[in-house]
Amino acid sequence: MLLIYTEAGSWQRKSEEERQALYAEYLALDDDLRAAGRLAGTSELRPVAEAVAVRAGGLVTDGPYAETKEQLGGYYIVDCESLDEALEIAARIPSARDGAVEVRPLVEARG
């Protein structure tokens, strides 16, 4: 799983032209991964202000942690032969240029 993190508010600070250019890059990456049979799933997430957290004891809170500087903005689930291949794909994600992409292997299903 490739988890995409960006600085809170960075998307809103971009011009409409910059946003459209980034979307075009994401769509091209999606198309490349689909054509290669590597894309298992991807999604942009709604803004962090719409997030709700359920904590121990059933406590429900709104939004992110106050001290969080980066927020999870989306993800890719890719089928890779190796960690190196996953890292190469992660580096192609446009938000990796000014944010971070966490590469995290999934646990194989048991059974």
60: CATH: 3.30.70.1060
Task: Look at residue 14 and tell me if it is in a domain.
Answer: yes
Q: What is the pTM of this model?
A: 0.86
Task: Look at residue 79 and tell me if it is in a domain.
Answer: yes
The C-alpha atoms of residue 90 and residue 82 are separated, in whole angstroms, by 13
Number of domains in the chain: 1
> Would you give per-residue pLDDT tens digits along the chain (111 residues)?
999 999 888 888 999 999 999 999 999 999 999 999 999 999 999 888 888 888 888 888 776 655 667 889 999 999 999 999 999 999 999 999 999 999 999 998 887
Task: Look at residue 30 and tell me if it is in a domain.
Answer: yes
List the domain range (segments joined by +) for residue 52: 2-103
Task: Look at residue 108 and tell me if it is in a domain.
Answer: no
